[in-house]
Structure 1
Amino acid sequence: MQIMLLQNKKTAIAGAGPVGLTMARLLQQNGINVTVYERDKDPKSRIWGGTLDLHKGSGQDAMQKAGLLDGYYEKAIPMGRIMTDHLGNVLFSKETSEEEQYNNPEINRNDLRTLLISSLEKDTVVWDRKLIKIEKQKDQWILHFENGTVETADFIIGANGGMTAIRKYLTDTEVEFTGTYMIQGEVSEPELKCPDFYKLCDDKILMTSYNGNSLVANPKNSKVLSYNVIFKMPETLELDFQNPERIIQYILERFNDWSVVYQQLFNSTSFFTGLPTKKISVEKPWKNNRPIPITLIGDAAHLMPPFAGQGANIGLLDALILSENLLNTDFETIQEAVYNYELQMQVYAAKAQEETRINEIEMLKKDFTFLKFVD
């Protein structure tokens, strides 16, 4: 009888995002000793950002294998799509039918984290652990954290985002800027603060694009309305996100030919963040000289912009395939199981990145419409 590859091994997962937590669940439910190290101070630390929609064939498959698909459906909201022009006219509106309600409902990031954490054994996640360095010591990894603590592991899975310190052990590929900038905003009590825009959304994901500026908004992201404004990255851009009034002024200047209904949204926003969009190519083969097992999943492996809704879904597919390999006794070593996962990942992640690249190009066109992306 063959022994599971990770039996009597200590597995460390860096990052308690959806991908890292799902990976932990998939291993732990099969008796694997796994610990997740997360830089957030505690489980109540709020994750900021838009909702996630998990797809059949990737994200939902991973949740099903983790025994959490029903929990996802309970917390997620099926949402239609509405496309408007820059003057506030509705061009296209589509409700989610009863048959479509489980296709890709939207879930708040904090709700998803809570669902995943509650599925894990107590103290699986160790908080306030920002990983800054790893090093080899005999046949183990030594993990160094920003607060001075040190841990050991027989196997490391990096799920801690595109800027992870782990990547250099697997690939020399650098993070690339894709040329787009996104400002993300939130409005609390939108029905009171921006009632006209809230009504325009009609409880759907709203999409608008005009003259190289795009807007995507979700009026039902838990208790807030969240949105992104998207545009080609200027050569020089200095934004102080500690000063919301300055950000509002900048957006209003960019969108000065848009209807007052959108200006109402921007003026009602009290919290902003922003970032240039980035990617990590998976085209270059990864290093195979790894005597101590280590790999990457999610954004750490294949960071991509959100323009095809694939990032989290591809990351969850990583967790599903890697966990199945590690629990498959047909592989003789952990490294063999890992390399097989990586070869598969580089194919499907490259395809998702190409889809994202095409969408990004289209979104920045002056005459672009979202119609081609509305099913």
Structure 2
Amino acid sequence: MKLSSTTFGTSLFTLATASLLASGMALAEGKTYKIGAAVYGLKGQFMQNWVRELKQHPAVKDGRVQITVFDGNYDALTQNNQIETMVTQRYDAIIFVPIDTKAGVGAVARAQENDIPVIASNTKVASASVPYVGNDDVEGGRLQAQAMVDKLQGKGNVVIIQGPIGQSAQIDREKGEMEVLKKNPGIKVIEMKTANWSRAEALSLTEDWLNAHPNGGISGIIAQNDDMALGALQAVKSRGLSPSDVPVTSIDGMPDAIQAAKKGNITTFLQDAQAQSQGALDVALRTLAGKDYKPQSVIWERYAQDVKWGDGTDKLYILPWVPVTNANADALYQQVAGSK
């Protein structure tokens, strides 16, 4: 067969194009993804664990993902500015743990307009277009409130220590708490105020409340996270009271709280920081790498009965709450404090 110069030129062009495409595919396979994690703040134990576990994801450990963590310092404007920075610097994806469910919507939209996928983890963004990997905080609120109802046998005065006002975890946990408490009219909520997930703020707040309601005026304390529960517990003990006098219920399942629960000092429910952070990174990588991406975190096996990967494009990946009991406390402690 004789090739014309035009055909031959076309053949060379096709071969050259194929070679470039193959090279591009090889580069894509060897690509290092630059992913930012914008977290609301790093003072508390839970987010410290969340970040630690994110950095233990197999794709981070083998160098395929370069993670940069941005500390939002509990301020929505700071978080928005950090997302703008990631957009300007052309990050490949953003994992977002917002301090305020609504305040970050505009910054997230700008990231998406620039083809930078955003995955919410632990707390939600008020946007249906943002996938979420985390727990159902309404259910978490129900669990901790029901635990208090059971402790008090349906009668008494309780106080509620809230998370940062406007964060989805605060909003949803409170919704769940109120659902349960409204069904138990023998329990009255006599105080409710934020301590911003802070152990120190909760300690001070609880001391003030114990002064304002002396002589058994407070029957129980519902704290919307473990750090605040531990601050409240410290205030109770410093007053010469025992956890049986003023029970404390919480959620998070952090190492210190697991130890306290094992001693019977608080009641708590684990939300898995590893599953939230590593699960969000798997979803981000699926968005970037395409349908052939297989999730790499162990968490998909751990919660295989509760959370299905599917094809990695779902909008909600809801993780289960795990009650901390005497029977599982040691194993959960090793999982939370010892996973490397």
TM-score scaled by length of structure 1:
0.33
Greater fraction strand: 1
Length-normalised TM-score, structure 2: 0.36
- Bigger Rg over Cα: 2
Return the structure number with greater helix share: 2
Q: Greater relative contact order: 1 or 2 (C-alpha under 8 angstroms, separation 6 or more)? A: 1
